[in-house]
Chains A and B, each alone.
Chain A
Amino acid sequence: QKEVEQNSGPLSVPEGAIASLNCTYSDRGSQSFFWYRQYSGKSPELIMSIYSNGDKEDGRFTAQLNKASQYVSLLIRDSQPSDSATYLCAVRGNYGQNFVFGPGTRLSVLP
């Protein structure tokens, strides 16, 4: 059973702080990793993808991947109230097209 785990939260951070979202996965053969943001009542939207160990930065977002530890994280710098949403971690294996989604972490950025 391939699993992706996330802390369900809610994770509350003050405006301007760094929000750190974590995700672990069970399939050691996983190759592609994605972070999605989902606002209440809306469908998920892609924020970042990462495929290699290390950090990948895009604006205020940084994705971090450690395949040895089977761990992927998302850092949001200078958090804004508009960042308040549920963040979904998705993992894709080496074969096929199916993704495995984590349950999501609810982030609340307090003004």
Chain B
Amino acid sequence: GAVVSQHPSRVICKSGTSVKIECRSLDFQATTMFWYRQFPKQSLMLMATSNEGSKATYEQGVEKDKFLINHASLTLSTLTVTSAHPEDSSFYICSANLGSGGSNQPQHFGDGTRLSIL
């Protein structure tokens, strides 16, 4: 069964709207979660690493003020796309490791959120 739950699965909204996406680890604690973005027919791009209780680590070129990440508990990380514009339309996917740092556990992905900005 699913180990990572992501919600909502699809969002369609007007330009200028802020959109919040939730990522939950089910039945395990995730001190670290990852947020990816994927444009059509392109590869996964890591946006940021979400760390429980501390600031997220953003990849080069990702605007931290545009993509707000909050990881307030061991089972929940949220990504807020602020003042979204059509170019932010994409497939956003979160993931988490089952194990702690240094383990061989794989990343498990949520089902993804398809964001469409009109």
Contact = CB atoms under 8 A, between A and B. Distances in A.
A44 B49 contact: no
A97 B101 contact: yes
A63 interface: no
Contacts of A102: 43
Contact of A44 (B6, B109, B114): B109
A49 B109 CA distance: 15
A103 B43 CA distance: 5
Contacts of A92: 104
Interface string B92-118: 010001000110101111111010000
Contacts, number: 51
B69 to A, nearest CB: 15
Contacts of B107: 34, 46, 90, 99
Residue among B34, B49, B102 with most chain A CB within 10 A: B102
A43 B32 contact: no
Residue among B6, B108, B114 with most chain A CB within 10 A: B108
Given A97-B97, A98-B49, A43 B43 contact: no
Contacts of A101: 43-44, 46
Contacts of B102: 95-96
A43 B38 CA distance: 10
Contact of A88 (B44, B97, B110): B44
Contacts of B46: 98, 101
Residue among A45, A90, A96, A98 with most chain B CB within 10 A: A98
29 contacts: A31-B104, A32-B106, A34-B107, A36-B109, A41-B114, A43-B6, A43-B93, A43-B109, A43-B111, A44-B44, A44-B93, A45-B109, A46-B106, A46-B108, A49-B104, A51-B104, A90-B107, A92-B104, A95-B101, A95-B102, A96-B102, A97-B32, A97-B101, A98-B49, A99-B34, A99-B107, A101-B44, A103-B43, A104-B43
Interface of B: 6, 32, 34, 43-44, 46, 49, 91, 93, 97, 101-102, 104, 106-112, 114
